[in-house]
Structure 1
Amino acid sequence: MPPEFIVFVVADAMLAKGERPSLRKVREAIPTGGSPREVCKHLRAWRKKRGYDPKLEPTDMSKAMKAAGQALAMDLWKQAKKEATQAFAREREAAATMAADDKQDCEHLLGMVETLQAENAALVARARAAEDEAARVLARLAKVENQLDRFRAEEFWDRVMREVAEILTGRGAMTPAEILPETRTWTVRGAALHKEPLTAAMLKKKMDVRVSFGRSFEPCEQGRYARRTG
């Protein structure tokens, strides 16, 4: 889209040459062309400012007037071209400065993104390490809890076996089925809490373990057990 002053210069030059500055001729004379609508708008402004009326256009001009008009048009054209060149140079310099600023901003943003990515990767690595450590701690805790449960169970059954030994001391040899009703209520409940319900079969199993190690009990006839002496 040509600026208004370009249309003015072209129209003045054509008029100085004795040519009629019509819309078609003006558009053809402009190096960059331009839309008919914009050129027509500027040309109407030129006619109004110059007071130009095609009907009053002189049919004959002296050579001196034509030469002066051509010289004036050429000077105006050169001035317009110089101003356009300077304007273009300024715009190009501003565009270059803006492009350099944009590039610097882009590099800065890229640096920030890389830094954030590195920090995120470090956080992810630390989070994974923390998860692994938590898993190891939980595994050790579970192991300790299992050991505690086993110790508690062993301690509980040791108390049960001592209780059975006391029962046998007063009653003599008895079968596990005969011993079971003689045990205390809390003993039965405690066995259930340790996930090993106190039955005759369970009582026999625990007593046989001690018999195998030569502790607490001695096997007798008809599935009875007596308290081991000595």
Structure 2
Amino acid sequence: MPTRSEVERAARELRRAGERVSVRNVRRKLPKGGSYGSIGPLLAQWKVDADYRPGKLPSEVPAGLTGAVNAFVAQVWAAARVEADKVVEAERKRLELLERVHEREAIAAWAEVDRLNEVVTDLTLKVRQLRWQVPRPPPPAPPPETPEQAEEFERLRGFVGSLPGDWLRRGGGVVRDGGSSAHPARDAEMESLLRPLEARWATERAKGAFWDGVMQEAAAVIAASKDRALGVAEILAGLSSGRRTEAVAHGGLDEAVLRREMQVRVDGGRSFRLLDDGRFGLLEDGGSPGRIEGPGRRRTGPARR
């Protein structure tokens, strides 16, 4: 088996002599010869390392060969064109058929998407309705009033009752005859008495703001409905889930409570109107805020379900 150095030395000698460096010529140069399988890989590696390029073929094609080659090439090209046209036509028909199949599948998929969207909408409404139907523990009752608180309340009531009608004028702090001045300073006793009332008022203001938010959201749910009119259960299901958690701090929220609060606004001619079928609509859509039952008769009491 020849070594790498023997193969490379024989290749260099052939290259210097201007002979073609081939496996056959290298094999002839080797002292002990060798097989093509043992010489070929070594010689191929040498050609890469030495950047060996074989000599060019003659630039001129023999005159007798040109005509035959041209005729052969023309026949091959014509036959190739015919076969290529057949392949292209068959592929075009296949793609047209595949396009029709995909179009039918896309139409079916779009119809299924529309159906599933309707299912999702229905299920979302049912989930909201079920969520509001889950039994919830009643809000915690306020702690019982202690004797000290009862005594403080009675003292406060007695103190306020003993104040003169113009007590705010102490210190000249009232608006008179178009003029204005700073509010009168409250003494320490009055400050201690009014502080619990201010806390109570803050709580009432927070509760009022909460119900204003609920009513605004209820109006938005009604406005988004198809008929712009909904029953209490549907309105309750459409409220955001955050209202349920927030409602615990204000006494809870269910159908009865929501109906009561909306009826208060119907009776006051604000935001909502009550339809004959018991549903609530928006006052801005026209009609009277109360329920009309018969000529000239109005019912403003709680709506029947």
- TM, length-normalised to structure 1: 0.39
Q: Pick 1 or 2: higher relative contact order, CA cutoff 8 A, min separation 6.
A: 1
Q: Which has the larger radius of gyration?
A: 1
Instruction: Point out the structure with the larger helix share.
Output: 1
